[in-house]
Amino acid sequence: MIRRSLLATAALAAVALPLGHAWAHAMLRGASPAVGSTGPAPKSVILTFTEGVEASFSTIWVQDAKGARVDAGPPHAVAGDSLRLEVPLKDLAPGSYTVTWHATSVDTHKTEGRYAFTVAP
């Protein structure tokens, strides 16, 4: 009986833990241009994460089909929004591009990813 109570208490404690987050890994929630999209040439790439990220400890590379870098500066937070990082781009010609990112969340967890988008003729 006592052991069952302990188990019940543990289960309740597990559920009662705060389910909202304060700390976590920053996963990519969305991007502009969108992942796998085709559209007009963007002026910048904006990545939206699930957690706040440290711009100074994060990188975003944008490369054309030949591997040449087309990003035009370091990433920065969008208008004081730590969930979004933006990197300006050079003028892009039609073709496929790859975005490679490494993010450090505000609680120092590191994540990375890579996706492609296409600039339409």
Partner 1 sequence: MKRLALLAAGLSGACLLAPVAAHAHGYAGPHMFVSTLIIDDPNVADEASLPTFSWQPQPTDGGPQMNLYAAEFELDKRITENFGFAVGGGYQWLTQPGNKTANGWENFYTTLKYKPYVNAEHEFMLSVGATVNFGNSGANGSNGATLDNDATDSFGPVLYFGKGFGDMPIGWARAFAITGQLGYQIAGTKLKVTGTDPDSGDPLFNNGTSNQWYGGLSLQYSIRYLSSQVKDYGLPEWVNRLTPLVELGWSSPASKPNQDSTQFIIAPGINYTADSYAFTVEALIPGNKQTGSHVGVIAQFHMYFDDMFPSSLGKPIVDWFK
**36 is a site residue for partner 1 (CB under 8 A):** yes
**Phi and psi for 23 in degrees, rounded to 5?**
-135, 145
Question: Which structure tokens are listed for 9?
Answer: 């208490």
CA-to-CA distance for 102 and 44, rounded, in angstroms?
A: 17
| 110 contacts partner 1 (rule: CB under 8 A) | yes
CB closer to partner 1 out of 80 and 108: 108
Q: 23, 40, 43, 96: which one contacts partner 1 (CB under 8 A)? A: 23
Question: What residues numbered 40-59 form the site for partner 1, per CB under 8 A?
Answer: 50-51
CA distance 14 to 112: 30
> Could you give phi then psi for residue 85, rounded to 5 degrees?
-115, 145
Residues that bind partner 1 (CB under 8 A): 3-4, 7, 10-11, 14-15, 17, 19, 21, 23-25, 27-31, 34-37, 50-51, 107-115
